[in-house]
Amino acid sequence: MFNIFQQPWALLAVSFVLLVVVYIMRTSYPEKQKWWHLLIPVLVIVLAFGLDHLVKTDREKVKDALENIITATMDKDIEAIDRLIAEDYKDRHHPSKPFIMTTCRIVVKRHNIKSITMTYHNIVIEGKEANTEIIVRLRMDTSSTTMLTPEYNYAKVKLTLKKKPDETWVIKSTELVEVNKTPVNWKRAY
């Protein structure tokens, strides 16, 4: 579905059409030329980018939540991770939020991650729930305790996020799909 707040290009096309219409009107009726006629397409362009900048869509909020969890993981900020996980969290391996938080603590403590880059994301929003699939590149510190780990790893993760009443998005469940193109699950991950 098309979202005017997410894609300013439609309003830019409208402004181009308006510019053509204004030009035709100015050349057809030179006696009715006004300087402010040329401002109409400019105002539509400003409106397009203003709406894109000022209005934050659910897709942008979900992407921000994903980037926040990546940043918190790189910074080893367990409290920030805790805030981004829903209270009713549940997946196949973790029956509740305390279990996933224990896993997070183990992974963050065991692996020295230099950087995490989201290389792919697919976000599908249905009401107050978003299903995402992301692929991240993890750059590991090879001098850490995981000496057999290669410097670069790729992980594919499926996440379900839910919208809280305050319009923020939190992670409701995760499924680790593969690491370095090898199918894995949470039990094999750490």
The DSSP secondary structure of 115-175, one letter per residue, reads: EEEEEEEEEEEETTEEEEEEEEEEEE-TTSS-TTS-SEEEEEEEEEEEE-TTS-EEEEEEE
pLDDT band with cut points at 50, 70 and 90 for residue 67: very high
Instruction: State the pLDDT at residue 148.
Output: 55
Instruction: Specify the pairing of strand 113-126 against strand 182-183.
Output: unpaired
User: How many domains are there within the chain?
Assistant: 2
pLDDT at 53 over 80: no
In a domain, 3, yes or no: no
CB 176 within 8 A of CB 151: no
Q: Is 157 domain-assigned?
A: yes
Residues 103 and 161 in one domain: yes
Whether the per-residue pLDDT at 42 is higher than 60: the answer is yes
Domain with 29 in it: 9-54
The answer to whether position 2 is within a domain reads no
Looking at the fold, whether 67 and 129 belong to one and the same domain comes out as yes
Among 34-38, 57-61, 82-86, 164-168, the least confident range: 34-38
Do residues 84 and 67 lie in contact, with contact meaning Cβ atoms separated by under 8 Å?
no
- Predicted TM-score (pTM) of the model is 0.75
Asked if the structure places residue 62 within a domain, the reply is yes
Q: Is there a single domain that holds both residue 18 and residue 47?
A: yes
* In a domain? residue 1: no
Q: Does residue 4 belong to any structural domain of this protein?
A: no
